[in-house]
Amino acid sequence: MTSSKSRMLLAVFLLLLFTFILTLQPISAQAEGVNLRWSIEGITDLPSLDPAKASDSQGFTVIGLLYGGLVRLDGDLNVIPDLAESWMVSDDGLVYTFTLREASLFSDGSAITADDVVWSLTHALDPNTGGWTGPFYLSNIVGANDVAAGSATELAGAVAVDARTVELTISQPSAYFLSQLTFGSAKVVSKAQAEADPTGWENAPVTSGPFQVQAWNHGQNIVLVPNANYWQAPTIATLTMPFIQDSETAYQLYITGELDIMGSQQNGIPAVHVPDAEMMPDFRSTPLFAVRYVGFNNTIPPFDNVNIRRAFALAIDKATLANDVLGGTVVPSDRILPLGIPGSELPIDGLSFDPDAAKAALAEAGVTPETIGQVTLTYGVEGDNERVVTVLQAMWQENLGVAVTLEPLELTTFSARLNETYQTPETGIQSYYSVWGADYPDPQNFISQQLRTSVGNNNGHYSNAEFDALVDEADVLTGDVARRMQLYNDAEQIAVNEVGWLPLFNPRLNILVRPEVQGIVFNGQGLIIPDYSALTISAGA
C-alpha cells in the first residue's frame, strides 16, 4: 500500500512539474498551433498560383509567401540573399553569378537546383505562359526578348553552371537589376512538377518559399502552412487569407475579432474609419511608395491634345480632395514619384489648382465644354475609389464646365481593360483612375517603366522623345547616383508638364494588426517579413 501510494504521489508531482514547465514556454513556442488570419482585400479569388501569371498586389502578396527567389528585400529595403546564399558581379556589371544555399529544398523535399532557376525565368518570359510581368521585368537578361517574342525557347543569358551555380548575363548595366529579381516574376518554381503536370501544378504547387498550400477554397480563402524545408521556416501553424472584395467589409471583420491583420499595399482602412482606428493600439500607418493618379489615353480624343490634359489637371483641387474628402489620410501630390523613394528629394514644378488657367488651357485646345464630346472616367470598384472619382467629376464640372461620365468596373475587369487599352488603344479606355505602387524601391519603376514610349505599363501611350532619351541614359548609369537621380528628375518634369499622368495624392499604409502579431515590418514598400522564423502570434490572440 505504501509503495503504491508513493508511486501515485510521484505521478501527481511529475504531472504538476510538467504543467509548470509548459507555462514557462516562450510566446514563440506558444504560437505554434495558432492560426494567423490576414485578409486580402479587393479580390474575390486568385487567378493562379503561378508566379509568372500574377498581375496585381494581392496576387504578389500570396506569391511572395509561397515562393523564394534568388534574392529578396529586408526590412530596410536592402537586397539580401534568399535562395542564393551569395552572388558576384563582373567588373563590367553585366554578369551576375549566384550560388544557391547548400541543401536548398522545395516543400516536397526535392532539391532546388540551378536548372529550376533557369527554367523559372524562361517560363516567366514564355508567351505561352500568358503573363506580362516576366517580359517586362526580366527584359534586361540577354535573350529575354527572343523568348518573349516566341523566337527562342532557351534563355541565352541564364546558365546553370552546376547544380548550385546560376549565371545571369544582362544586356546593359543596371543599378536596379537585383531589385527586379526580388519581384514575383523571378520566383523559383519546381521544374520537375511543372513538366510532369503542365496544366495542374499551378493550382497545388510545390513551393520554394516559407509557406505551402494547405487548401485553396476558391472564392473564399487560401490557407497556408509552413514549408519546413525553407531555410527560414515559420513557426506559426497556419496562415489563413480570406478574399474580401472591399476594405469596408474587411474592417468590420477585424473589429469583430475575425481577422488578425487587415490591410495591404493598395487597400487599407477606409478613410472614414481612420480617425477611430488611430485610437486603437492595433493601428499602423506609414507613407507608401505609391501614387494615385488619373491616366489619359493619349491616342484618342480628347486627351490626345496636351492642352486638354493640362486643363483637366489644373481643374483639380488636390488639397481639398486629400484633406476634406479623405480626411487628411493621404498627402496631395503634383508629381509622379511618391514621398520617400530615391529621387523624390529633388524638386518638381507641378500643375497646381488654378481654375482660370484650366479654362484657358481648354480654350487653347480649341474646344469648349459643349464641343469636347463624351468624356468617361473608368475606375475599379474598391475602397474609397467611388468617393474620389465622384469628387473629381464634380470638380471638372465646376471648374471646367465639362460633364464627365463615371464607369465603375469590378477590379479584375478594370485591370483587364487597362491591358486591352495598352494592346489596342484606339478602342481602349478614354481616361482612368488608378494607382501604382513600387514593385521595388527605385525611381526607374515609376518613371521609365510607366511612361517611356511603348513600355508595357504605359497604358495611356504617353510619348516624348526627350523624356525617352533621359530615362535611357539613367537606366544604364551605375557609377553616379546623383547624376542618375537628376536624369530621372528632368524626365519626370517633362511628364508632369505634359500630364503623362495626373498625380493626385500619395496614400498611406493604414492597417490594423493585433499587438500579439510580431515579425512584420511596415514601410513604404508595404508589409515585409524580414525573418519568417520570427513571424509569431501569441496563443491568447
Strands 95-100 and 165-169: antiparallel
**Across 507-535, average pLDDT:** 92
Which residues in 360-401 belong to E strands, given as ranges? 375-380
Half-sphere exposure for 264 (CA within 13 Å, toward CB): 24
Whole-number percent of the chain with pLDDT over 70: 93
Reported as a single tens digit per residue, the pLDDT across 431-477 is 999 999 888 889 999 999 999 999 988 999 999 999 999 999 999 99
Return d(Cα 121, Cα 181) in angstroms, integer.
Answer: 10
pLDDT at 368: 97
pLDDT at 266: 63
DSSP string over 184-226: GGG----HHHHHHSTTTGGGS---SSSEEEEEEETTTEEEEEE
Half-sphere exposure for 447 (CA within 13 Å, toward CB): 33
**Exposed/middle/buried for residue 380 (C-beta within 10 Å: 0-12, 13-18, 19+):** buried
Of 270-274, 336-340, 433-437, 490-494, the one with minimum mean pLDDT is 270-274
DSSP letter at 532 equals G
Question: At which residue does the C-alpha cell 511628364 appear?
Answer: 495
**Across 23-52, average pLDDT:** 73
Q: Which of 271, 247, 283, 287 is nearest to 507 (CA)?
A: 287
Average pLDDT of the chain, as a whole number: 91
pLDDT band at 32 (very low <50, low <70, confident <90, very high): low
Whole-number percent of the chain with pLDDT over 90: 79
Is pLDDT at 494 greater than 50 in this prediction? yes
- The residue type at 533: S
pLDDT at 28: 34
pLDDT at 522: 87
pLDDT at 101: 97
Show the domains of the chain with their CATH numbers: 46-200 (3.90.76.10), 211-286+510-537 (3.40.190.10), 290-508 (3.10.105.10)
Return d(Cα 333, Cα 506) in angstroms, integer.
Answer: 6
The sign one gets for the Cα dihedral 268, 270, 275, 277 is negative
| Nine-digit cell string for 352 | 497646381
Reported as a single tens digit per residue, the pLDDT across 100-122 is 999 899 999 999 999 999 999 99
Is pLDDT at 19 greater than 50 in this prediction? no
pLDDT at 6: 38
| Nine-digit cell string for 111 | 532539391
Half-sphere exposure for 508 (CA within 13 Å, toward CB): 21
Reported as a single tens digit per residue, the pLDDT across 294-330 is 999 999 999 999 999 999 999 999 999 999 999 888 8
pLDDT at 12: 35
Angle (nearest 5°) at CA 519 between 513 and 521: 70
Provide the whole-model pTM.
Answer: 0.81
Reported as a single tens digit per residue, the pLDDT across 175-187 is 999 999 999 999 9
Of 10-14, 337-341, 373-377, 432-436, the one with minimum mean pLDDT is 10-14
**Across 191-211, average pLDDT:** 96
* Residue 340 vs residue 406, higher pLDDT: 406
pLDDT band at 515 (very low <50, low <70, confident <90, very high): very high
Q: Which of 367, 363, 388 is nearest to 377 (CA)?
A: 388
Return d(Cα 3, Cα 9) in angstroms, integer.
Answer: 10
